């Protein structure tokens, strides 16, 4: 999938647990886990805004676009 979720990196930088973020944002830990794993099909802007507010970051710090060509090259390198 071309959209990569880097939420785990931002959580590690802030030494915050997923559970704490879920509580602060107002989502279930399960929904946050789905997002972190990159299995979410969509995210509401209000949820993204709340995550950015709590983590004091920009949406681009959490979400990134990688073309399928980049994914294929990364897989070939491994």
The answer, yes or no, to whether residue 24 has pLDDT greater than 80, is: yes
pTM score of the predicted model: 0.82
Show the CA angle centred on residue 28, arms to residues 25 and 29, nearest 5°: 95
Mean pLDDT, residues 52-68: 95
The mean pLDDT value for 15-24 works out to 97
Average confidence score pLDDT of the chain:
91
pLDDT at residue 65 tops 60: yes
- Give 33-75 as a 3 state SS string: HHHHCCCCCCCCHHHHHHHHHHHCCCHHHHEEECCHHHHHHHH
Do 1 and 38 contact (CB within 8 A), yes or no?
A: yes
Domains of the chain: 3-77 (1.10.260.40)
């Amino acid at each position: 999938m071309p959209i990569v979720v880097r939420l785990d990196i931002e959580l590690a930088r802030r030494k915050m647990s997923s559970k704490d973020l879920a509580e602060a944002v107002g989502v279930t830990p399960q929904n946050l886990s789905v997002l972190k794993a990159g299995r979410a099909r969509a995210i509401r802007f209000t949820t993204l805004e709340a995550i950015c507010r709590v983590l004091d970051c920009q949406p681009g710090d959490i979400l990134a676009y990688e073309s399928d060509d980049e994914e294929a090259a990364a897989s070939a390198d491994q």
